[in-house]
Structure 1
Amino acid sequence: MSEATGESLVLTERHAGYRVLVLNRPDRLNAFTEPLHLALRDALSDAAADPECRALILTGAGRGFCAGQDLSARNFAPDVEPDLSRTLEAFYNPLVRQIRDLPMPLICAVNGVAAGAGASLAFHGDLVLAARSAKFLQAFAKLGLIPDAGGTWLLPRLAGRARARGMALLAEPITAEQAEAWGMIWRVIDDADLMAEAHRLAAQLAQAPTYGLALIRRAFDASETNDLDAQLQVESDLQGEAGRSPDYREGVAAFLEKRPARFTGRKR
């Protein structure tokens, strides 16, 4: 049972244990404007503050996930020198940091084009599902720009150096099947089944030890820049935190008693 709230720039559907956030500018393929940034950040903050929300799905209304920056907001006068650094520092960078710090896993259900910062947004998901018709596009080179919203950090790690540079320099779309074959996303799903699979995974994650899942993300993120010794220390520190959670005790008890675990998802 779900409850849809508000015809706004980001729609929120509340389900048992998880939420669905829907980017809601379908006439512009859910391209980013400053109000959309703020609405998404508010929706993420609200979900993060809800102890009953233990997983998130992010998707787009209409026929696309997110087309990146809305260029209609970039029609500068000839004598105006744009300051895109301000846009990144004020909007995109805080959004990326907020997503990476979520206390629950994020499923991105890519239901069409994910371009520019929209592709980066999708790739920041913990689990990325893509409709078979979906495409990912790094369009920045067509505008004389570089990938942002973490794109230059994500792409080489997801696709490898050669493929990342090819995607960024040639600005050619890749299919959902290519993205799956290259290890950039979790799974390709038939279009008609995309949201059903996203809901299935979210319901599964909502019953999992949420705090431990957030620590898994922290560990993997740290491994991107650590050597082995540093990562062993990260594992030691985070495992210590995980072991102090009630879900660890519950998991051990459930194993010994041969019953399903009843996780709360809480730190303490």
Structure 2
Amino acid sequence: MPFTHLDIGGPVATLSLDHAGGNRISFDMRVELREAVQQIEKSPARALLIRGEGGDFCFGGDVRDWPGTPAEILRPKIQVLAEALDHLERLPIPTIAAVQGGCMGGGFELALSCDLILAARSARFAFPEARVGIVTLQGGMMQIAERVGSAKAAEMVFLSEPASAEQMRHWNVVNWVVDDAEFESQAAALAARLAEGPTKAFAATKALWRMQAEQGVKAAKAKLYDVSMPLFETEDARTALRNAAEAINAAKPLPTAIFAGK
């Protein structure tokens, strides 16, 4: 049975986790996630929304598959999710994790691999790996340290205590916290807004951020104009700049730009 559902019916791609009992990431679900990200990259989607069916976003890896499995067999099966998340981070379009209920372990790493996190007020975040004597297997310990610093990261990773959505917003892990009743509509509205944005500029921004993370600020700045100047040749930028210049000359407010992703 499928454990994920991918909808690319318009400019927003929606990837839904659907595994009864907390959307735990089984071995088969890892493969589905990797294949879904590959499909999204090849699609015309201009934004991606990742969400969970049921009351929880994702409780992380399905550890029921793990006991008694030799490490040499377990490693390639677990590593599939790391490959999926690395590919997710490299997508040129904006990505949003819409988190409700439990967001634990690998599910938390999935959310951290997105550009933005919108959380319902009910959301709870944790890394429970230390409770079973392992580490965050997709690099969550490093992802969270980048957001909150090493001291707070140690607190979360070592103690495995859940943190509220508001606490995560205060620590700059979550971008927005909304009431549960408005959660679905707010997530859809945010994804639609990003899908209407300057797709080419978003892709350039993400490419430069990735370069900064991998090679440092100096290397990213050295490539800044190589990446940014071609934007001036895009249809979107040419049209928006021309309309802005005309509005300034006429002493009018800047018009709202319409971006076609071209």
The alignment's TM-score, normalised by the length of structure 2, stands at: 0.89
Rounded to whole Å, the distance in 2 between the matches of 1:235 and 1:221 is 12
> Secondary structure at the residue paired with 2:49?
strand
Letter in 2 for 1:37: R
Percent of aligned pairs sharing the same letter:
29
Q: Is the 8 A contact 1:159 1:183 kept in 2?
A: yes
Where does 1:59-70 land on structure 2 (aligned, <5 Å)? 59-70=51-62
Which of 235, 256, 263 does residue 259 from structure 2 map onto? 263
Taking the aligned partners of 2:217 and 2:194, their CA distance within structure 1 comes to: 29
Matched, 1:128 2:109: no
Alpha-carbon distance in structure 2 between the residues aligned to 1:225 and 1:156: 16
> 57, 61, 66: which is aligned to 2:49?
57
User: How far apart, in 2, do the equivalents of 1:75 and 1:232 lie?
Assistant: 47
| Partner-residue secondary structure (3-state), 2:15 | strand
Structure 1: unaligned runs, 5 residues or longer: 1-6
Aligned amino acid, residue 229 of structure 2: G
- Tell me the SS of whatever aligns to 1:64: coil
How many corresponding residue pairs? 255
Indicate which of 201, 211, 220 corresponds to 2:190.
201
Find the counterpart in structure 1 of residue 5 from structure 2: 11
Matches of residues 89-238 of structure 1 in structure 2 within 5 Å? 89=79, 91-224=80-213, 226-238=215-227
Q: Which whole-Å CA distance do the structure 1 matches of 2:194 and 2:221 have between them?
A: 26
- Check conservation: 1:96, 1:150, Cα contact below 8 A: no
- Extract structure 1 runs of 4+ deviating beyond 4 A: 80-84, 225-228
For residue 68 of structure 2, what is the aligned residue in structure 1? 76
Paired with 2:148 and 2:170, the residues of 1 have a C-alpha distance of 10
> Equivalents in 1 of 2:230, 2:105: separation in Å?
37
SS in 1 for 2:34: helix
Distance 1:151 1:205 in 2: 26
Q: Which residue of 2 aligns with 1:245?
A: 234
Instruction: Please say if 1:37 is aligned against 2:27.
Output: no
Q: Which runs of 5+ in 2 are unaligned?
A: 248-254
Could you say if the C-alpha distance between residues 203 and 72 of structure 1 is closer, same or farther in structure 2, counting changes exceeding 3 Å? Answer: same
SS of the counterpart of 1:86?
helix
- Between the aligned partners of 1:234 and 1:176, the Cα distance in structure 2 is 37
Q: Is the 8 A contact 2:33 2:81 kept in 1?
A: no
Letter in 2 for 1:249: R
Deviations 1:66-99 (A, max 9, x none): 111101111316xx4565432343x022111210
In structure 1, C-alpha distance between the alignment counterparts of 2:146 and 2:222, rounded to whole Å? 22
Q: Distance in 2 between matches of 1:231 and 1:13?
A: 34
> How far, CA to CA, are the matches of 2:243 and 2:12 in structure 1?
23
Q: Separation in 2 of the partners of 1:42 and 1:104?
A: 17
Q: Report the Cα distance in structure 1 between the residues aligned to 2:132 and 2:230, rounded to whole angstroms.
A: 45
Change (3 A) 1:104 1:227: closer
Cα-Cα RMSD: 2.0
